Amino acid sequence: MSWASAIIDGLTREWGVDHPLVLGLLALALLPLLGSVFRRGPVPAVALVPTDPLSRILSAVLCLAGMAAIAALVLGLAGLHRREQSVEREGTGAHLVLLLDRSSSMDNNFADRAPTGDQESKSAAAKRLLAQFVARRPHDRIAVAAFSTSPMPVLPLTDHHEVVDAAIDAIDRPGLAFTDVGRGLALAFSSFAGDTAEASRAVLLVSDGAALIDRRVQEALRDAAARTPVHLYWLFLRSRGARGIFDVPPPGEDTPQANPERHLHLFLQSLRLPYRAFEATSPQAVAEAIAEIDRQETRPIRYFERIPRQDLAGPAFALAGVLVALLLGAKLAERRLAPASAARAAIPTDMRRAA
Task: Give the whole-angstrom CA distance, residue 256 versus residue 276.
Answer: 20
Is the Cβ–Cβ distance between 93 and 35 less than 8 Å? no
Hey, CA dihedral for 332, 334, 340, 343, is it positive or negative? positive
Q: Is residue 97 classed exposed, middle or buried when 0-12, 13-18 and 19+ CB atoms within 10 A define those classes?
A: buried
Task: Give the whole-angstrom CA distance, residue 287 versus residue 125.
Answer: 9
Is the Cβ–Cβ distance between 73 and 317 less than 8 Å? yes
pLDDT digits (tens, 9 = 90+) for 106-118: 878 888 787 777 7
Average pLDDT for residues 285-298, to the nearest whole number? 82
Task: Give the whole-angstrom CA distance, residue 83 versus residue 81.
Answer: 6
Q: Residue 287 phi/psi, 5° resolution?
A: -60, -40
Task: Give the whole-angstrom CA distance, residue 23 versus residue 181.
Answer: 61
pLDDT at 167 over 50: yes
Looking at residue 23, the DSSP 8-state letter turns out to be G
pLDDT class for 125, splitting at 50, 70, 90? confident
Q: Which of 26-40, 197-211, 212-226, 300-314 has the highest mean pLDDT?
A: 212-226
Using alpha carbons, list the distances in angstroms from residue 62 to 71, 102, 318: 14, 71, 18
Is the Cβ–Cβ distance between 123 and 106 less than 8 Å? yes
Q: Is residue 238 classed exposed, middle or buried when 0-12, 13-18 and 19+ CB atoms within 10 A define those classes?
A: buried
Q: Is residue 52 classed exposed, middle or buried when 0-12, 13-18 and 19+ CB atoms within 10 A define those classes?
A: exposed
Task: Give the whole-angstrom CA distance, residue 301 versus residue 312.
Answer: 33
Strands (E), 124-274: 141-147, 151-158, 201-207, 231-237
Q: Which of 4-8, 96-100, 114-118 has the highest mean pLDDT?
A: 96-100
pLDDT class for 351, splitting at 50, 70, 90? very low
pLDDT at 67 over 90: yes
Question: Nearest to residue 94, comparing CAs of 297, 274, 305?
Answer: 297
Instruction: Give residues with Cβ within 8 angstroms of 297, minimum separation 6.
Output: 93, 94, 96, 137, 200, 202, 231
Is the Cβ–Cβ distance between 29 and 287 less than 8 Å? no
**What is the DSSP pairing of strand 275-280 with strand 80-82?**
unpaired
Looking at residue 176, the DSSP 8-state letter turns out to be B
What is the overall mean pLDDT for the chain?
81
Q: What DSSP assignment string belongs to 262-305?
A: HHHHHHHHTT-S-EEEEEESSHHHHHHHHHHHHHHS-EEEEEEE
Question: Nearest to residue 203, comparing CAs of 144, 262, 131?
Answer: 144
pLDDT digits (tens, 9 = 90+) for 300-344: 667 666 788 899 999 999 999 999 999 988 888 877 655 555 545
Question: Nearest to residue 188, comparing CAs of 149, 142, 219?
Answer: 142
- Cβ atoms within 10 A of the Cβ of 334, count? 9
Listed range (67-76, 95-104, 321-330) with the worst mean pLDDT: 95-104
